[in-house]
Amino acid sequence: MKTAMPQRDTRPASAGTGTMRAIVQDRYGSDPAEVLRLATIARPAVGDGEVLVRVHAAGVDRGTWHLMTGLPKLMRLMGFGLRRPQQPNPGRGLAGSVVAVGRNVPTLEPGDEVYGTVEGSFAEFCRADPGRLARKPANLTFAQAAAVPVSGVTALQAVRKAQVGAGEKVLVIGASGGVGTFAVQLAAARGAEVTGVCSAAKADLVRALGADHVLDYARHDFADGVHRYDVILDIGGNTRLSHLRRALVPAGRLVIVGGETGGRWTGGFGRQLRAMALSPFVSQELGMLASSENSEDLSALRELLEWGTVTPAVDRTFPLPEVPDAIRHLAEGGARGKVVVTL
């Protein structure tokens, strides 16, 4: 008996078909319950170079919060919408199944399970660029896979930019967060001696992910003058550049991945600019990461995930109507690893 194969849907993007549930926002604001709401809207149409994905799970990250609040305000000037969000759905990372494929997309077929980054993943369906998708790791659930695209790719690129090598001493600041949990594992996989900085309540998680040492940021100063590191990956907080340099060896490398509490206008971005300006004049390499979303890095991560070298640390899952609660949980700082929305 011959089994019918799924038909390739290559309809052009003249109109979407049907409706879907999605989270939408019309204005910026700091309270998720006030600016985010669940609505029924039209499904997105598929362009010639795009695919339509049925979303099974979506990741929540700090970028989600920034898109919701419009902070720092510098991002509004960079094209995210001056007075209101240009993208009415702040979700970005996802895992799901391909439903329809544009006529100019040869790499994917309906039914393929994928993960990656999009605009608007807090919805039942979303339109996606195949260049920002890859096949989902076979050993992961959709919820686990959705935790990877934004934070995992950022961590991979940070470790690569820092040129972490075997035997080097690596300090990961913000080790228990979304990016930090991946950075600890990726640095350890390269044979580095990893020290993670996090709260005491999350120390067991960071150790379980492969950190050799864990520092409680409330009790220990990583720049104590006793320990120095070949590499520092600064993922959380807004530590002064001079303090970070004090913890580096003379020829050490610093990669600033992010920063919070840096003001409503720049969000601490000035610290990254100062690092880059100072770097040519000192023996240490001081820089920042501008991460890029691409299928090649997602495919590289898929191999590490399927080998068991890297494992997503999922803190909690929330259903789609509870996206405001998921974002609030992340913003309050209690998450151990990633927060995920399931559909």
Q: How many residues does the chain have?
A: 343
Same domain, 183 and 280: yes
At residue 16, the pLDDT reads 57
Instruction: Tell whether 245 is covered by a domain.
Output: yes
Is pLDDT larger for residue 258 or for residue 325?
A: 325
Same domain, 159 and 138: no
At residue 5, the pLDDT reads 37
At residue 237, the pLDDT reads 72
pTM of the model: 0.91
Instruction: Tell whether 76 is covered by a domain.
Output: yes
Is pLDDT larger for residue 70 or for residue 333?
A: 333
Same domain, 168 and 208: yes
Same domain, 52 and 157: no
Same domain, 136 and 227: no
Cβ count near 212 (within 10 Å) = 14
Highest mean pLDDT among 61-65, 80-84, 211-215: 211-215
Instruction: Tell whether 6 is covered by a domain.
Output: no
Instruction: Tell whether 230 is covered by a domain.
Output: yes
Instruction: Tell whether 92 is covered by a domain.
Output: yes
Same domain, 54 and 181: no
Query: What would the mean pLDDT of 156-180 be, rounded to a whole number?
Result: 97
**Residue 26, pLDDT above cutoff 60:** yes
State the DSSP code for 77: I
pLDDT mean across residues, the chain: 89
In this structure, what are the phi and psi dihedrals at residue 340, rounded to the nearest 5 degrees?
-130, 145
Whether the CA torsion 331, 334, 336, 340 is positive or negative: it is: negative
At residue 72, the pLDDT reads 54
Count of domains forming the chain: 2
Give the angle 80-291-204 at the CA atoms, nearest 5°: 110
Instruction: Work out the pLDDT band at 291, boundaries 50, 70, 90.
Output: confident
Contact 137, 163 (CB under 8 A): no
Query: What would the mean pLDDT of 150-175 be, rounded to a whole number?
Result: 97
Same domain, 28 and 143: yes
Query: What would the mean pLDDT of 145-164 be, rounded to a whole number?
Result: 97
At residue 7, the pLDDT reads 43
Instruction: Tell whether 298 is covered by a domain.
Output: no
**Residue 319, pLDDT above cutoff 80:** yes
Query: What would the mean pLDDT of 186-209 be, rounded to a whole number?
Result: 97
**Residue 14, pLDDT above cutoff 50:** no
CATH number at residue 41: 3.90.180.10
Instruction: Work out the pLDDT band at 6, boundaries 50, 70, 90.
Output: very low
Instruction: Work out the pLDDT band at 164, boundaries 50, 70, 90.
Output: very high
CATH number at residue 160: 3.40.50.720
At residue 11, the pLDDT reads 42
Residue 77 token pair: 């000037």
Contact 224, 246 (CB under 8 A): no
Same domain, 210 and 116: no
**Residue 193, pLDDT above cutoff 50:** yes
Instruction: Work out the pLDDT band at 12, boundaries 50, 70, 90.
Output: very low
At residue 267, the pLDDT reads 55
Instruction: Work out the pLDDT band at 146, boundaries 50, 70, 90.
Output: very high
Instruction: Tell whether 319 is covered by a domain.
Output: yes
Same domain, 245 and 269: yes
Question: Could you tell me what percent of the chain has a pLDDT over 70?
Answer: 87
- 114 DSSP β-pair partners: 96, 135
Same domain, 67 and 182: no
Same domain, 281 and 161: yes
Instruction: Tell whether 35 is covered by a domain.
Output: yes
Same domain, 158 and 270: yes
Question: Residue 185: which domain range?
Answer: 151-288
Nearest to 190 by CA among 155, 142, 154: 155
Instruction: Work out the pLDDT band at 334, boundaries 50, 70, 90.
Output: confident
